[in-house]
């Protein structure tokens, strides 16, 4: 089954009624045809960590400890196996995310953070290809990514969802089933609905119900503070090369000159390329090495990813290009994620 079969097809050749079979006109208007650009793809995107401001207050020792523990898992040979390309040369890029979003004032400037990170990683044989700032998952300088992904959400419908009601978007929450209390208004003297438990859709007998907060309201121009889970979902989609804005790519890594780092994070690129010959930032699959504290966040990420409507052309292109390399890539974005959760 081809997903794109149902896509619109405007700008057809004109009059079908009176045209003689011999005279076939070809007519096309470029504005009438959609297009989706392809992005460069590595085979695997390895996330070496997700760093909060406090991670830089504990000194270089804490960072070193983190990289020391994940180094064995980030070796080329074991990574090859993850993409099904064992024994063959693999295109792997590494990246990490610095949180300049939740508490921007407490994060030391790039001139402090970057050399520290690179040194700590290098001490354990790890090369960091890309460094991204978390605020770029909200807005990358050109595209409001978080809003874009939120708009692409197609909430998992509990049974009885027949299209008659708009999906509950306003609340800023997304769950994987049906909530325990219906929020529908009850008229005066109307019957009350009895309590029922929440339920996970497509549960295997018992539910693991999860309700993830996407954002909270906040004064300011954006009006919202996006949740860590939601931004982490945007981050995964960026790494998977599945996001497009009006068909164009939203991933544009900018080479970073370590000798000339900006004073503030706002002037740091959305995604900075730290090594000149790095494999592409986006990849067929992602691998993330994280502390176990991220486990609930990543559960939410998977719930969110399972409800994002991806540009079918972007989705199909990753599958096709992987196949051309003799690799298989699962159809569903959430199935392309691998994790290593590290205990404390």
Q: Binding to another protein (CB under 8 A): which residues in 75-134?
A: none
| Beta carbon of residue 307, minimum distance to another protein (angstroms, whole number) | 6
Q: Which stretch binds another protein (CB under 8 A): 128-136, 182-190, 222-230, 282-290?
A: 182-190
Between 31 and 259, CB nearer to another protein: 31
Q: Which residue has the tokens 């027949």?
A: 162
* Contacting residue, 127, 225, 261, 334, with another protein by CB under 8 A: 334
| Beta carbon of residue 170, minimum distance to another protein (angstroms, whole number) | 8
CA gap 160, 146 in Å, rounded = 29
Interface positions, 183-202, toward another protein (CB under 8 A): 184-190, 201-202
Please say whether the beta carbons of 303 and 210 come within 8 A.
yes
* Contacting residue, 61, 87, 89, 160, with another protein by CB under 8 A: 160
Take residue 183 and report the two structure tokens written for it. Answer: 């929020």
Interface positions, 245-274, toward another protein (CB under 8 A): 245-247
Between 105 and 324, CB nearer to another protein: 324
Half-sphere exposure of 203 (CA within 13 A, CB side): 15
Site string for another protein, 20-39 (x = CB under 8 A): ----x--x-x-xxxxxx---
Between 247 and 264, CB nearer to another protein: 247
| Beta carbon of residue 344, minimum distance to another protein (angstroms, whole number) | 31
CA gap 105, 101 in Å, rounded = 9
| Beta carbon of residue 244, minimum distance to another protein (angstroms, whole number) | 7
Site string for another protein, 196-235 (x = CB under 8 A): -----xx---------------------------------
**Considering the rule CB under 8 A, would residue 240 count as an interface residue with another protein?**
no
**Considering the rule CB under 8 A, would residue 164 count as an interface residue with another protein?**
yes
| Sheet arrangement for strand 92-98 | 254-255, 271-273, 130-133, 92-98, 42-51, 283-291, 337-342
Take residue 284 and report the two structure tokens written for it. Answer: 């067929």
Half-sphere exposure of 144 (CA within 13 A, CB side): 9
CA gap 234, 301 in Å, rounded = 9
Residue from 180, 131, 174, 136 nearest 156 by CA: 174
* Contacting residue, 53, 109, 144, 172, with another protein by CB under 8 A: 144
* Contacting residue, 63, 97, 308, 322, with another protein by CB under 8 A: 308
| Three-state SS at 27 | coil
* Contacting residue, 118, 152, 199, 261, with another protein by CB under 8 A: 152
Between 1 and 197, CB nearer to another protein: 1
Residue-wise over 114-145: b if at least 16 C-beta within 10 A, else e? bebbbebbeebebebbbbbbbbbbbbbeebeb
* Contacting residue, 161, 180, 193, 292, with another protein by CB under 8 A: 161
Residue-wise over 85-113: b if at least 16 C-beta within 10 A, else e? beeeebbbbbbbbbbbbbeeeebeebeeb
**Considering the rule CB under 8 A, would residue 335 count as an interface residue with another protein?**
yes
| Beta carbon of residue 177, minimum distance to another protein (angstroms, whole number) | 10
Per-residue DSSP letter, 157: P
* Contacting residue, 155, 198, 262, 291, with another protein by CB under 8 A: 155
């Amino acid at each position: 089954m081809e997903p794109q079969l149902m896509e619109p097809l405007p700008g057809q050749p004109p009059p079908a009624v009176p045209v003689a079979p011999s005279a076939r006109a070809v007519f096309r208007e470029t504005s009438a045809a959609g297009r989706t650009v392809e992005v460069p793809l590595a085979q695997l995107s390895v996330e070496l960590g997700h760093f909060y401001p406090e991670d830089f207050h504990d000194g270089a020792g804490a960072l070193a400890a983190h990289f020391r523990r994940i180094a064995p898992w980030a070796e080329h040979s074991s990574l090859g196996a993850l993409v099904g390309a064992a024994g063959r040369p693999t295109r792997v890029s590494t990246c990490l995310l610095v949180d300049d979003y939740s508490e921007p004032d407490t994060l030391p400037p790039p001139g402090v953070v970057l050399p520290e990170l690179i040194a700590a990683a290098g001490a354990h044989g790890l090369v960091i290809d890309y460094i991204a700032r978390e605020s770029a998952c909200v807005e990358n300088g050109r595209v409001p990514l978080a809003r874009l992904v939120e708009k692409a959400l197609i909430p998992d419908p509990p049974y009885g969802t027949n299209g008659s009601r708009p999906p509950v978007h306003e609340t800023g929450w997304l769950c994987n089933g049906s909530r325990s209390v219906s929020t529908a208004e009850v008229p005066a003297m109307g019957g009350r609905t009895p309590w029922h438990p929440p339920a996970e859709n497509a549960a295997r007998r018992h539910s693991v119900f999860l309700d993830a907060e996407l954002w909270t309201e906040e004064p300011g121009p954006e009006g919202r503070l996006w949740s860590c889970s939601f931004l982490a979902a945007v981050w995964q989609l960026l790494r998977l090369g599945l996001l497009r804005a009006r068909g164009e790519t939203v991933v544009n890594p900018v080479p970073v000159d370590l000798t000339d780092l900006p004073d503030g994070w706002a002037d740091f690129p959305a995604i900075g390329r730290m090594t000149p010959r790095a494999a592409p930032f986006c990849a067929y699959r992602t691998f993330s090495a994280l502390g176990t504290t991220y486990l609930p966040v990543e559960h939410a990420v998977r719930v969110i990813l399972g409800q994002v409507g991806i540009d079918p052309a972007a989705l199909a292109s990753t599958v096709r290009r992987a196949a051309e390399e003799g690799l298989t890539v699962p159809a569903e974005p959430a199935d392309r994620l691998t994790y290593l959760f590290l205990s404390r």
